[in-house]
A and B are shown apart, each in its own frame.
Chain A
Amino acid sequence: MADFFQLLFSGLATGSIYALAALGFTLLWQASGTINFAQGEFVMLPAFAMLAFASFGMPMPLSFFLTIVLAIAVLGWAFKRGIVDPLFRYGMMQIVVATIGLSIAMRNGVRLTGAEAHPFPSLFADRIYNIAGVTVTQSDIGTLVLAMLLVIGTQAFLARTITGRAMQAVAQNTESASVLGINVPRMIFYTFAINAILACAAALLVTPVYLAKFDMGESLGTKAFFAAVIGGFNNSRGALLGGLIVGVGENLAAAYVSAAYKDAVALALFMVVILFKPQGLLGRKEERKV
């Protein structure tokens, strides 16, 4: 039984990492109706930015702060102005293709500086706890707790603050929102900025485990997308649930079925959900004008 809990807890820690990346998908979808397939790379770039700042001798909190500023400018503002704004009126498919292209460009751009993995300092102390035969590290617990706080915080911001509600209004009906006096472009920019900040936070938690490498975002982005769909694309808590389900499912399958099918778990769950509950486990049915 201790073995089962060992797998479960390791799965939860991995799952919370997927959840953080999945949160970016749901956020952009809820607030601006776009899907960003470069989400994994949006986590990879801040990781390298933090390493770059740190290599100039800056302490980690400062490099994290500078990375957030940089990320809001590049992954928030420039991404919105350069890719989403010009393509938005042509439809969703164009944005999807453009973000896939962007992810390839970002990956290979970073690859030019070197294809090797770099270690990344952990936010948490290197301490191991043994609870009834189950060993957990402080970083497992820390990642899980912080990821949950970020998800719940984002959800609360969207649901309970005026700005958050305005952002949702813009996503639901842009015309009515502007009639109501909401500054539509600003609200959409806020969404992209929050997404960029979350990506930086995800990078901080994810990279010590994934290691900073040009292709670290590739599997992360895919798993996060599956997790977001499984949990429900229009619900932030769905991202958390989806991420945890994928993380735990993978780990249990690797131990009790076969390690060879580990990566198929997310895909299989994704297909089952799409077939039987297309809006996701926690998602609402949404109707949009065609």
Chain B
Amino acid sequence: MKKLILALALGALVITPAVAQQTIKIANIVELSGPGTTSGTNFKDGVMLAIKEINAAGGILGKQIESTTNDTQSNPGVAKGLTQKAIDQEVFAVFGPVFSGSIMVSMAETRRAEVPNFTGGEAASITQQGNPYVFRTSFTQATAMPKIARYITDQAKVKTLALIYVNNDFGKGGREMLMKALDKSPTKIVADISTDSGQVDFSAAVLKAKQSNADALFVYTNEEESARALRELRKQGWTKPVIGETVLTSQKVIELAGDAANGAVAHVGLTIDAPLPAIRAFRAKFEKEYKYICDHNGLKGYSGVYALKAAIEKVGKLDRKAVAKAMHTLKVKAADQPGILMDVEFDANGDLDRDSFLTEVKNGKQVITATLPPLGKKK
């Protein structure tokens, strides 16, 4: 009997590699603890939901997806180590991390091993380093800012704009991209106001914006500072438009700013409140599976897996290099690949372009007021 078990075990060892090739291995390397917990958990749950659906529908090219999940603790060093470990286990693709600081470090490993790596990070620099194996699941500031700039100039007809930004990597990156986008437009930035991360008193910043006599104000700071800026704007009687990107109309800002948030307008790349049947259906499925309402990171992870699926199907075989190459010109229509949620186009850098939304805070709720076309498409 013992011999039989031994023989079976040996047999299993010999057979295992053959079995492994019958599945597509994906590694989730995400923030499940530390400051990135919310982002990482949403992203991972999105990925897992997509995998479950794809497997139930017969997999990709008839092969089932097998996934592993590891926690980066929101730490770039840990993310790098886990990515290396995933590569040693010969995964086909890596999903995560979500934090820009982590993917900047860990993507060197996937690049070396030529493994496609999908990230939720939004810093412009991630895709500016010529890494052919990194792909976004959301906009970068370099895509988002030109979109909101187009709105500022063409729709809101703003001639002079005051800018309040936060003096950290996020704020400075966004400021640079906005200035570049407005450079050749009729809109001029007449006040360029720097604020600190964690700043409490915005009276001087708002006063400077008022003194500039600008037609509108652009606020690009993190959640808490945005809320404080909105409160101070109301206090000092600012009645002109207040415009932002993603953060300004987010749920957290509305919660912290209260009534002062009403009227704020912002561009949002992905939102669970989008008036699209595909996103509504996704929201319902996600809530049923995980018992909470997902944020934009859940949408990123979910649609990212479907982008990978589309690329593999386009290539027709499980070849990482060919799939990465295919990703760089990939165009997916939601009609053909419903899981992608919205029509999307990837470019040679791994950045993506698609519809996005203009939102406004009305009665303490984020309301979608318009759908903005992809940047590549003429109005």
Contact = CB atoms under 8 A, between A and B. Distances in A.
Interface of A: 3, 6-7, 10-11, 14, 115-117, 119, 126, 128, 130, 135, 137, 209-211, 213, 215, 219, 250-251, 254-255, 258-260, 262-263
Given A119-B255, A211-B256, A259 B203 contact: no
Interface stretch (B9-17, B179-187, B194-202): B194-202
B207 A255 contact: yes
B235 interface: yes
B200 A255 contact: no
A117 B201 contact: no
Contacts of B276: none
A14 B235 contact: no
Contacts of A10: 201, 203-204
A166 to B, nearest CB: 38
Nearest to A253: B204
A81 B35 CA distance: 34
B208 A255 contact: yes
A128 B196 contact: no
A259 B255 contact: no
B201 A116 contact: no
A255 B35 contact: no
B259 interface: yes
Contacts of A14: 200-201
B223 A254 contact: no
Interface string B241-269: 00000000000100110110000000000
Query: Residue among B194, B195, B201 with the most chain A CB within 10 A?
Result: B201
A11 B203 CA distance: 9
B35 A115 contact: yes
B194 A260 contact: yes
Contacts of B198: 215, 219
B376 interface: no
17 contacts: A10-B204, A116-B252, A119-B256, A119-B258, A126-B259, A128-B234, A128-B237, A135-B235, A135-B237, A210-B200, A213-B224, A251-B201, A251-B203, A251-B204, A254-B201, A262-B196, A262-B199
Given A117-B223, A117-B224, A7 B203 contact: yes
A250 B202 CA distance: 11
Nearest to A252: B204
B256 A209 contact: no
Q: Chain B interface: which size bin?
A: 20 to 34
Contacts of B89: none
A116 B256 CA distance: 11
B255 A211 contact: no
Interface string B213-234: 0000000000110011000001
B219 to A, nearest CB: 14
A115 B35 CA distance: 7
B75 interface: no
Interface in B345-373: none
Contacts of B223: 117
A263 B201 CA distance: 11
A128 B235 contact: yes
Query: Residue among A119, A128, A259 with the most chain B CB within 10 A?
Result: A259
A6 B236 contact: yes
Nearest to B198: A219
B207 A7 contact: yes
Nearest to A137: B235
B29 interface: no
A260 B207 contact: no
A92 to B, nearest CB: 30
Contacts of B227: 211
Given A119-B255, A262-B199, 9 more contacts: A6-B207, A7-B204, A10-B203, A14-B201, A116-B252, A119-B256, A259-B204, A260-B167, A262-B196
A88 B252 CA distance: 44
Contact of B211 (A3, A258, A260): A3
B256 A117 contact: yes
Nearest to A10: B203
A255 B195 CA distance: 11
Nearest to A4: B207
B205 interface: yes
Contacts of A116: 252
A259 B196 contact: yes
B224 A211 contact: yes
Interface string B295-324: 000000000000000000000000000000
6 A-B pairs closest in CB distance: A10-B203, A254-B204, A255-B204, A117-B224, A14-B201, A259-B194
Query: Residue among A10, A14, A119, A210 with the most chain B CB within 10 A?
Result: A10
Contacts of A258: 194
Nearest to A3: B207
A254 B223 CA distance: 21
A223 to B, nearest CB: 10
A215 B200 CA distance: 13
Contacts of B35: 115
A259 B195 contact: yes
B274 interface: no
Contacts of B199: 262
A256 B360 CA distance: 33
A205 to B, nearest CB: 13
A137 B260 CA distance: 13
Contacts of A260: 167, 194
A67 to B, nearest CB: 22
Nearest to B34: A115
